[in-house]
Amino acid sequence: MKSHRRFAFRMLLAALSFFIVPQQFSKGCGVKGMVFYGYDFFNPEVVHPEKGLAPFLLDMNDVYEKYVNAENTQVKDNLTEWRERFCNKVSLNDLYYIIYKVNISTLQDLRDAINSPSLTLSFMGDKISGNSFARYLYRNKCDEAVKYLIFAKRCEPHVTKKKAWEDKELDVEAMLDLIEKGKEEFLYTKSYYFKLRYAYQLIRLAHYAKKYTLVLELYDFLMPKLDNDPSIIEDWIEGHRAGAMQALGQRVEAAYIFSKIFDRCPSKREAAFLSFDIRTDEEWETCLRMCQSDHEKAMLHVLRAQGKNSRLVEEMKSIYELDPQNMNLEYLLVREIKKLEKDFLGYEFNDKRAQNKQYFNIPRPNADKRVIELQGFVRDLLKDNHLAHPDFWKIAEGYLELLSGDYYFAKKTFADARKMVSNDTLKNQLEILNLVLEISSMEQLDKSQEERIYEIRTEEKHYKDDTDFKDFLRDKMAYLYTKQGDDAKAFLCYSDISELRPYPKPEIVDNLLSICYDPDKSLMEKQMILKTDGSTIQNDLLDMKANIYMSLFQPEKALLVYQEMPDETYWDAYGLFDPFMERMNDCPDCALSDTSILYNKGELIRQLIQLEQDAIIEADPTKTAQLYYKLGLAWYNMTWYSYSWKTIDYTRNKNSLDYLQKTGSDVIPEAGTPYGNKEFFDCSRALYYFEKALQLSRDPELDAKIAFMASKCERNDYYMRQHSGGEQTFKYYNMLIDNYANTAFYAKLIEKNKAFSAYVIGRQD
């Protein structure tokens, strides 16, 4: 026995079906989860947009919202039919107010006015007297209409809920009492149209009361007594009848009715779709025998085609053989193309493909087989020449070729389709898919291709109108640039230049600078390096490059880089600094003092170079020691540990030291940074200057300060190599204790620095 389709939506059936367990819905809560990342260019509205989309175009994550909105469709259809019955002489808004908003008391007052020789509508206030529907009912003495509306209002509390999660007790006795009263009204009412509406109210009440046998009895009693014009109410009644039959175990008969409702009634289509339930071959054959026409048989195949494991092409072939121009063939084709679009479009360069596979199992395991089978089916139907819209099918053929990677044939098929298409919607779709094809078939990005990309981004209407094109083109560009080894341009595809600051990789910075300096930049390259204020990223890159050289202790090269800016007036844009302050305790977040002499980065680098030169030529050892001490202070204070870290770095993570100690890496992974955050921990240059100062100094107070700063460098060096092992040394702490315990600085240090004070106590013990 072959496996029959069990809808993927079956788990939602109890909560969603209007027919099996009737209830009101409210979108009050949902489950947040991962989002599929892909591209969407095939517009389902190209297929009979005036008829509305069939529910099988929906993805699972759209079903709840779309299904709840089916109630809005029902309201709209209901109001439209009411308006038609009253010769289109009343407005939909006025109908809505009287039918859905006013209470029983207001309707009773309206009925009193209709039946009174003296009462006018004005006594009911402006909202009623100014309502076109109320005026029509009053003027034409439509007592039966108002009487029906009053009865419907009495039924309403029993068949609706304000909130889907409310669990109110059914007042079955009251519902049965209303059914008896409604039967009397049904028999006394003259209008067949209102008789039909009474029948709907009674059958619906019985269904909600879970009196399923009574539903069928009422149907058999009421419906033969009607002789009305066609109405959507008949399908609503049929839905409740089918729901009752299904509840009583008559699933095949119910499935047949649901298939007809699915075909005829847009406002109940989703519910019929969810309620259709055929489980065995025998049930399927029985249901087919109930069909009165090939079209009805075709609709059964339409419904069966929805199963997760359905043989889609086989079902579509059956539909075509029974009903070649059945519009649902096109719906089914669109539905499958949308799935194949997720499976294949941009898969090669979609950087979220692993996430898509893990959370959504996309691409589907059998996607390759499905696209090949569907291509063959589409080609066969185009050859058969019995399609209602061959131009649409030709476009679909080309898109399937595109999704399969057959770009040559896709281009040829789209060219053939262009000769067939006259519909503006299809023309627009074809233009979009041609652009998708052009981007998909790009293999290398040279300056010529970049010029075309610039044209697409600035002139193509579809690119501007559809945000998916921006993602699609960007992802393709990043993929090709990476493949070509151009990581710098790949970086700019996804990131702003500011995102390079946490870790300005030298090769990325240099490659981007080469673009800035290139006199023959393509328009695309010019656009890539342009900032929102109209300037370029050149100066930002120069600042990053200078920082790289500073982190390598090469201030001379850093100054040369800074001097590449147009002039020194630009230097202030990258901060003002004073790294020469003395601090006993490290304080990365402390503010500068009011007496600080501030330097921009270019000036500071120049000052550091000058201090080194002055130290070399200074004859006085004590002054030389003071110069080296000042240099040591600057290089220490510019590290991660101290207050002037922004001189060389852009961002500082307080947890970076822990990460360094655990992993040995100075690059810390951080969200929002493409390469992580590279911290400047290295105190070796500072220690170098402190040691030179100690060799030359003859001032005990200065020596004590130098030794203390050197001890910080010694400690931080231990932190940097802690991951690889080794004991911590205290050379400079011991030097302070042994040689400088009588200095004023030592006494102050004992008072202010807890770590040193604790070490002194520990050594004494």
At 167, the pLDDT band (50, 70, 90 cuts) reads low
**Percent above pLDDT 90 for the chain:** 77
Query: Comparing 43-57, 291-305, 665-679, which segment has the lowest mean pLDDT?
Result: 43-57
Mean pLDDT throughout 467-480?
96
Report the pLDDT value the prediction gives residue 721, as an integer from 0 to 100: 86
Report the pLDDT value the prediction gives residue 58, as an integer from 0 to 100: 45
At 74, the pLDDT band (50, 70, 90 cuts) reads confident
- Say whether pLDDT at 18 is over 60: no
Report the pLDDT value the prediction gives residue 444, as an integer from 0 to 100: 95
Is the CB of residue 574 less than 8 Å from the CB of residue 641? no
Report the pLDDT value the prediction gives residue 405, as an integer from 0 to 100: 96
Report the pLDDT value the prediction gives residue 3, as an integer from 0 to 100: 36
Report the pLDDT value the prediction gives residue 559, as an integer from 0 to 100: 98
Phi-psi region of 706 (alpha: psi -120 to 50; beta: other; left: phi over 0): alpha
Bridge partner residues of 536 (DSSP): 530
Is the CB of residue 736 less than 8 Å from the CB of residue 708? yes
Residue of 463, 731, 465, 575 lying closest to 476 (CA atoms) = 463
Tokens found for residue 451:
């010029």
Mean pLDDT throughout 76-98?
89
Alpha-carbon distance of 341 to 358, in angstroms, equals 18
Highest mean pLDDT among 6-15, 130-139, 266-275, 545-554: 545-554
Highest mean pLDDT among 28-32, 84-88, 440-444: 440-444
- Say whether pLDDT at 687 is over 60: yes
What separation, in Å, do the N-terminal and C-terminal C-alpha atoms of the chain show? 88
Report the pLDDT value the prediction gives residue 197, as an integer from 0 to 100: 95
Which run of H or E residues covers position 451? helix 447-459
Report the pLDDT value the prediction gives residue 10, as an integer from 0 to 100: 37
- Say whether pLDDT at 64 is over 50: no
- Say whether pLDDT at 12 is over 60: no
Model confidence pLDDT, tens digit, residues 300-334: 999 998 877 789 999 999 999 999 999 889 989 99
Residue of 256, 329, 326 lying closest to 291 (CA atoms) = 256
Model confidence pLDDT, tens digit, residues 362-406: 999 999 999 999 999 999 999 998 898 999 999 999 999 999 999
Beta carbons within 8 Å of 633's beta carbon, 6+ residues apart: 579, 580, 581, 582, 686, 709
Alpha-carbon distance of 374 to 371, in angstroms, equals 5
Query: Comparing 30-34, 220-224, 347-351, which segment has the lowest mean pLDDT?
Result: 30-34
Q: b/e string for 360-385 if b means 16 or more Cβ within 10 A?
A: bebbbeebeebbebbbebbbebbeee
Cα angle 660-637-744, degrees, rounded to a multiple of 5? 115
Residue of 565, 526, 528, 527 lying closest to 543 (CA atoms) = 565
**Percent above pLDDT 70 for the chain:** 91
DSSP calls for 114-125: HH-SS--GGGG-
Alpha-carbon distance of 723 to 701, in angstroms, equals 35
Is the CB of residue 389 less than 8 Å from the CB of residue 396? no
- Say whether pLDDT at 20 is over 90: no
Mean pLDDT throughout 438-442?
98
The torsion of the CA quartet 550, 555, 561, 563, rounded to 10 degrees, works out to 130
Report the pLDDT value the prediction gives residue 163, as an integer from 0 to 100: 53
Q: How many CB atoms lie within 10 A of CB 671?
A: 4
| φ/ψ (deg, to 5) at 219 | -60, -50
- Say whether pLDDT at 702 is over 70: yes
Q: Pick the residue with more confidence: 507 or 81?
A: 507
Report the pLDDT value the prediction gives residue 227, as an integer from 0 to 100: 87
Report the pLDDT value the prediction gives residue 751, as an integer from 0 to 100: 93
At 5, the pLDDT band (50, 70, 90 cuts) reads very low
Is the CB of residue 515 less than 8 Å from the CB of residue 528? yes
Which position has the token pair 């390469």?
675
Report the pLDDT value the prediction gives residue 727, as an integer from 0 to 100: 87
Alpha-carbon distance of 211 to 247, in angstroms, equals 10
Alpha-carbon distance of 198 to 609, in angstroms, equals 96
Query: Comparing 44-58, 248-262, 541-555, which segment has the lowest mean pLDDT?
Result: 44-58
Report the pLDDT value the prediction gives residue 88, as an integer from 0 to 100: 84
Which position has the token pair 């075709």?
298
Tokens found for residue 194:
């209102």
What pTM, to 2 d.p., does this model score? 0.78
Q: Pick the residue with more confidence: 661 or 685?
A: 685
Q: Is 117 exposed, middle or buried (0-12, 13-18, 19+ CB in 10 A)?
A: exposed
Which residue type occupies 34? M
- Say whether pLDDT at 608 is over 90: yes
Model confidence pLDDT, tens digit, residues 549-600: 999 999 999 999 999 999 999 999 999 999 999 998 998 988 888 888 999 9
Alpha-carbon distance of 329 to 316, in angstroms, equals 6
Report the pLDDT value the prediction gives residue 538, as an integer from 0 to 100: 97
Q: How many CB atoms lie within 10 A of CB 307?
A: 16
Residue of 325, 313, 465 lying closest to 390 (CA atoms) = 325
Instruction: Count the alpha carbons within 13 Å of 461 in the hemisphere toward its beta carbon.
Output: 4
Residue of 48, 333, 22 lying closest to 204 (CA atoms) = 22
Residue of 679, 38, 737 lying closest to 357 (CA atoms) = 38
Report the pLDDT value the prediction gives residue 30, as an integer from 0 to 100: 32
Q: What separation in angstroms does the CA of 133 have from each of 20, 90, 265, 749?
A: 34, 5, 26, 91
- Say whether pLDDT at 247 is over 70: yes
At 188, the pLDDT band (50, 70, 90 cuts) reads very high
- Say whether pLDDT at 55 is over 50: no
Which residue type occupies 278? I
Report the pLDDT value the prediction gives residue 162, as an integer from 0 to 100: 53
E strands in 21-104: none
Model confidence pLDDT, tens digit, residues 639-648: 999 999 999 9
Report the pLDDT value the prediction gives residue 572, as an integer from 0 to 100: 95
Tokens found for residue 452:
């075309």
Report the pLDDT value the prediction gives residue 153, as an integer from 0 to 100: 95
Mean pLDDT throughout 664-692?
94
Q: Pick the residue with more confidence: 727 or 321?
A: 321
- Say whether pLDDT at 65 is over 60: no
Report the pLDDT value the prediction gives residue 290, as an integer from 0 to 100: 97
Strands 677-678 and 599-600: unpaired
Strand, helix or coil for residue 576: strand
Alpha-carbon distance of 530 to 208, in angstroms, equals 65
* Rg, C-alpha atoms of the chain: 40
- Say whether pLDDT at 56 is over 80: no
Angle between helices 312-322 and 328-344 (to 10 degrees): 160
Q: Is 459 exposed, middle or buried (0-12, 13-18, 19+ CB in 10 A)?
A: exposed
Mean per-residue pLDDT over the chain, rounded: 89
Alpha-carbon distance of 97 to 248, in angstroms, equals 38
Residue of 462, 442, 459, 460 lying closest to 450 (CA atoms) = 442
At 419, the pLDDT band (50, 70, 90 cuts) reads very high
Is the CB of residue 178 less than 8 Å from the CB of residue 155? yes
Alpha-carbon distance of 256 to 267, in angstroms, equals 18
Number of H helices, E strands in the chain: 39, 4
Instruction: Count the alpha carbons within 13 Å of 166 in the hemisphere toward its beta carbon.
Output: 14
Report the pLDDT value the prediction gives residue 633, as an integer from 0 to 100: 98
Alpha-carbon distance of 527 to 574, in angstroms, equals 23
